[in-house]
């Protein structure tokens, strides 16, 4: 099986490093609609060059168009997609379900990969995506290798093998947007998981001022044979915000491992280089079912530990080294979180030097007013970075054939394994003096300096006594090479563009109130009142009320078998093939931010849809009006007007708390308390304050109003909502 090594490129320098160091494919972002908005990314002119450069070297290039799209952005999104499509992009990564479905209809031979932002964590979701024409899925980083291999669906599988990890299921994290205008689903994540939190129970501190949600860096290099023996198609490196040198080094290392050259690697040295380039501590992740996932002490790059401080003065810091330190390296004092570039390095006697070897003592200037005897990490290795700036030459092997028959045109052919070209020259004349030697012909044909090609074989069919001018051989070679470069750089499939006609959905307006209940008291009250539906996710409580026709089962999120959990009336949060015989409501976790997602979800069998909680009140009103104006019918929408948004869903008991105990909070440095609980399978982090939309009267004329309750009592509910 051919495995693809997929490498990030946040800018052109990263792209060149990826290509030179052996990437099979790269993924890049445009200026908009990518999940790394703050990477440099590529404008359209740069994107054209990137596509041509990748195709020249036989590297596939994918565009990350994997954010949620709002109605007023749809046309711009489609314009960008069509630009990429017409100019030879090999695939696009998509999160937004409405856009995915629209692209499948509009551009039938555009290859689509479902982004990890689409939360692919079950066989059911894979089957659903395969049946609608998705070529590849990027699995959630919560999936284990065993779980992935157990999925027998004829769809390409892609997994992350190295780089930063999100603590929440991707596409399910609302932590950033719930605290400000920056949405992770829009490529603007502020990194709330890298901040300090205190874990409390009933206001009693259990863990104080730690990075309780900060994941280590994924590193699968030590157990990569298991991945190579799997049915995974593509191995993906994370890092569109990383440096070109990081991209180049990590690509080169995994290229060697994939090509069975691991025995030529000094894995200990490779690990040290990786630590120096970037790490928060390493983990094998959920892919290998590791329990060592968090670094609660340091949220950022800690480097390679090289020693400890043994003495401090006002001017100097004395360090006992266990690894080399060189001038122009960067160091960091880990507990103090201070660091600098070593412009001046001294040996133990105070003499200026360029390098101090491991085991010895060095001195550096105290430029950061260090106060404590701290551990020292090397966060930048100057010599390594300088070495990595020199790109290795990536060459494309070709075969030449020259045919020389007297009184017939001289013919030169080239074959790169995919493209075959030939050119003809003048008629070959008999030699008047000494005929040209075969070795001289071969020498001229194989003069490929300054081109991306190298000859793996040059076949010469030379009739004796032929006379061929060296200049003619050179001209034929240059013509062939230039033609082959042009063909490779412009390799693209025909763009097929359909007109999409949307039918009128069979929906009608529904008005009323719905409730999501977490306690027996809430369920009892909601079912006794004039509510349309009551969603209950706790099995014990649900079983007490399921006979009531207004009670719906609230499915657990990110289940490995969602289709098996569906009840006759169910609130669903994941994408799979919906049973239209059941009454199904889509939860806000389906991320409905445009009318196309709503339209296609209705076509898939959902009866009612809850709009995304990342929409503002005005955007909600705009979406409703857009739907009515487009389809001339009212939608069956719900809008969450009160309740704590579920900011994160995290695999396992990452905080080590008691299951089904709702008395825990995570308190941030601002004093905000985020309720957190563990349900026996996943950890849930709710927002520190509830959504509380005030303009309910206007919305109630068009949609149902939803109230999500957590620990509220009946008396509190009466004050919040008139049910």
Question: Token pair of 110, please?
Answer: 């555009």
User: Which pLDDT belongs to residue 506?
Assistant: 82
Write out pLDDT tens, residues 574-625.
Answer: 999 999 889 999 999 999 999 999 999 999 999 999 999 999 999 999 999 9
Tell whether the torsion through CA atoms of 12, 14, 16 and 18 is positive or negative. Answer: negative
Say if residue 438 is exposed, middle or buried (CB neighbours under 10 Å; 0-12, 13-18, 19+). middle
**Separation of alpha carbons 583 and 552, rounded Å:** 9
**Separation of alpha carbons 409 and 476, rounded Å:** 12
φ, ψ of residue 313 in degrees (nearest 5): -120, 180
Centre a 10 Å sphere on the Cβ of residue 571 and count the other Cβ atoms it contains.
23
**Separation of alpha carbons 522 and 526, rounded Å:** 6
**Separation of alpha carbons 75 and 488, rounded Å:** 31
Half-sphere exposure (Cβ direction) of 197: Cα atoms closer than 13 Å: 24
Residues 6+ positions from 600 with CB-CB distance below 8 Å: 97, 98, 101, 102
User: Which pLDDT belongs to residue 543?
Assistant: 97
Mean residue pLDDT of the chain comes to: 95
Interaxial angle between packed helices 74-86 and 44-56, expressed in degrees from 0 to 180 and rounded to the nearest 10 = 30
Closest CA to 469 of 499, 511, 425: 425
CB 391 within 8 A of CB 20: yes
Closest CA to 280 of 193, 363, 201: 193
Residues 6+ positions from 446 with CB-CB distance below 8 Å: 400, 455, 458
Write out pLDDT tens, residues 639-689.
Answer: 999 999 999 999 999 999 999 999 999 999 999 999 999 999 999 999 999
Residue with tokens 């590193």: 219
Strand 204-210 and strand 197-201: pairing? antiparallel
**Separation of alpha carbons 401 and 543, rounded Å:** 77
User: Which pLDDT belongs to residue 263?
Assistant: 65
Half-sphere exposure (Cβ direction) of 589: Cα atoms closer than 13 Å: 24
User: Which pLDDT belongs to residue 719?
Assistant: 92
Reduced to 3 states (helix: H, G, I; strand: E, B; else coil), residue 481 is helix
Residues 6+ positions from 704 with CB-CB distance below 8 Å: 510, 511, 512, 513, 514, 532, 608, 636, 637, 638, 639
Write out pLDDT tens, residues 76-97.
Answer: 999 999 999 999 999 999 999 9
Residue with tokens 């280089």: 273
Nearest-10 Cα torsion for 350, 356, 359, 363: 30
Beta bridge partners of 638: 610, 704
Which residues of the chain, if any, have pLDDT below 70?
A: 1, 35, 261-264
User: Which pLDDT belongs to residue 148?
Assistant: 98
Half-sphere exposure (Cβ direction) of 219: Cα atoms closer than 13 Å: 19
Helix/strand/coil (H/E/C) assignment for every residue in 60-80: EEEEEECCCCCHHHHHHHHHH
Domains of the chain in start order, with CATH, are: 4-165+221-266 (3.20.20.70), 304-389 (2.40.30.10), 396-489 (no CATH), 512-644+690-720 (3.20.20.220)
**Separation of alpha carbons 513 and 647, rounded Å:** 23
φ, ψ of residue 244 in degrees (nearest 5): -60, -40
**Separation of alpha carbons 197 and 37, rounded Å:** 26
User: Which pLDDT belongs to residue 35?
Assistant: 67
Tell whether the torsion through CA atoms of 53, 58, 59 and 61 is positive or negative. Answer: positive
Write out pLDDT tens, residues 157-191.
Answer: 999 999 999 999 998 999 998 887 788 888 889 89
Q: Where are the beta strands (DSSP E) in 297-366?
A: 304-312, 316-321, 325-326, 330-333, 338-341, 345-347, 352-353, 355-356, 361-365
**Separation of alpha carbons 82 and 89, rounded Å:** 10
Closest CA to 453 of 396, 381, 401: 396
Nearest-10 Cα torsion for 109, 110, 115, 121: 0
**Separation of alpha carbons 684 and 675, rounded Å:** 8
User: Which pLDDT belongs to residue 426?
Assistant: 95
Closest CA to 140 of 168, 120, 162, 113: 120
**Element holding 544 (H helix, E strand):** helix 539-545
Half-sphere exposure (Cβ direction) of 482: Cα atoms closer than 13 Å: 7
**Separation of alpha carbons 362 and 499, rounded Å:** 70
Closest CA to 117 of 99, 133, 141, 134: 141
Cα distance from N-terminal residue to C-terminal residue, the chain: 60
Instruction: State what percent of residues in the chain have pLDDT above 70.
Output: 99
**Element holding 675 (H helix, E strand):** strand 673-678
Closest CA to 39 of 3, 10, 66: 10
**Separation of alpha carbons 217 and 165, rounded Å:** 6
Closest CA to 245 of 519, 21, 93: 21
């Amino acid at each position: 099986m051919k495995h693809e090594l997929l490498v990030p490129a946040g800018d052109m320098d990263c792209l060149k490093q990826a290509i030179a160091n052996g990437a099979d494919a790269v993924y890049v972002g445009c200026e908009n609609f990518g999940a790394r908005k703050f990477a440099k990314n590529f404008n359209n002119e740069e994107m054209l060059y990137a596509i041509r450069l990748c195709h020249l070297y036989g590297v596939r290039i994918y565009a990350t168009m994997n954010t949620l799209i709002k109605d007023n952005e749809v046309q711009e999104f489609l314009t960008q997609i069509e630009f990429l499509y017409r100019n030879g992009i090999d695939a696009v990564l998509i999160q937004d379900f409405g856009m995915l479905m629209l692209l499948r209809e509009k551009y039938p031979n555009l290859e689509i990969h479902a982004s990890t932002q689409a939360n692919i964590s079950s066989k059911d979701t894979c089957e659903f995506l395969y049946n609608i024409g998705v070529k590849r899925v990027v699995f959630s980083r919560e999936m284990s290798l065993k779980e992935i291999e157990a999925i027998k669906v004829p769809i390409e599988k892609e997994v992350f093998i190295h780089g930063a990890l999100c603590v929440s299921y991707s596409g399910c994290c609302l932590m950033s947007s719930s605290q400000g205008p920056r949405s992770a689903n829009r490529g603007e994540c502020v990194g709330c998981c890298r901040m300090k939190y205190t874990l409390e129970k009933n206001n009693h501190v259990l863990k104080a001022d730690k990075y309780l949600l900060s994941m280590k860096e994924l590193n699968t290099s030590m157990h990569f044979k298991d991945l190579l023996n799997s049915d995974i198609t593509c191995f993906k490196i994370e890092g569109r915000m990383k440096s070109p040198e990081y991209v180049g080094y990590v690509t080169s290392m995994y290229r060697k491992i994939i090509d069975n050259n691991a025995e030529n690697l000094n894995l200990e040295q490779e690990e040290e280089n990786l630590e120096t380039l970037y790490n928060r501590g390493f983990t094998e992740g959920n892919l290998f079912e590791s329990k060592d996932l968090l670094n609660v002490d340091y949220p950022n790059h800690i480097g390679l530990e090289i020693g400890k401080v043994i003495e401090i003065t006002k001017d100097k810091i004395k360090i006992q080294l266990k690894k080399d330190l060189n001038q122009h390296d960067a160091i960091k004092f880990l507990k103090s979180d201070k660091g600098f570039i070593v412009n001046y390095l001294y040996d133990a006697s105070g003499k200026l030097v360029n390098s101090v070897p491991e085991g010895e003592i060095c001195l550096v200037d105290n430029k950061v007013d260090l106060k404590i005897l701290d551990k020292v990490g090397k966060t930048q290795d100057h010599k390594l970075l300088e070495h990595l700036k020199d790109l290795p030459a990536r060459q494309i092997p070709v075969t030449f054939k020259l045919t020389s028959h007297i009184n017939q045109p001289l013919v030169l052919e080239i074959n790169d394994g995919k493209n075959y070209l030939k050119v003809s020259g003048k008629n070959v004349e008999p030699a008047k003096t000494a005929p040209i030697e075969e070795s001289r012909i071969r020498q001229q044909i194989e003069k490929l300096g300054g081109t991306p090609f190298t000859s793996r074989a040059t076949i010469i069919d030379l009739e004796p006594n032929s006379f061929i001018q060296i200049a003619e051989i050179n001209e034929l070679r240059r013509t062939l090479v230039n033609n082959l470069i042009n063909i490779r750089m412009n390799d693209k499939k025909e763009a097929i563009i359909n007109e999409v006609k949307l039918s009128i959905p069979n929906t009608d307006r529904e008005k009323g109130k719905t409730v999501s209940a977490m306690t027996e008291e809430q369920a009892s009250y909601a079912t006794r009142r004039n509510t349309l539906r009551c969603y209950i996710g706790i099995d014990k409580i649900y079983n007490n009320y399921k006979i009531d026709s207004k009670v719906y089962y609230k499915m657990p999120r990110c289940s490995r078998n969602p289709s098996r959990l569906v009840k006759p009336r169910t609130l669903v949060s994941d994408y799979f093939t919906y049973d239209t015989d059941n009454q199904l409501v889509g939860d806000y976790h389906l991320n409905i931010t445009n009318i196309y997602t709503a339209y296609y979800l209705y076509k898939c069998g959902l009866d009612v849809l809850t709009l995304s909680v990342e929409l503002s009140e005005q955007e909600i009103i705009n979406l409703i009006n857009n739907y009515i104006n487009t389809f001339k019918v009212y939608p069956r929408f719900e809008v969450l007007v009160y309740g704590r948004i579920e900011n994160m869903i995290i695999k396992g008991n990452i905080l080590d708390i008691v299951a089904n105990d709702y008395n825990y909070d995570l308190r941030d440095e601002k004093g905000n308390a985020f309720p957190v609980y563990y349900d026996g399978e996943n950890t849930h982090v709710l927002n520190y304050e509830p959504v509380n939309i005030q303009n309910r009267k206007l919305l109630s004329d068009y949609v149902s109003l939803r109230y999500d309750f957590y620990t509220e009592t009946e008396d509190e509910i009466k004050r919040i909502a008139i049910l």
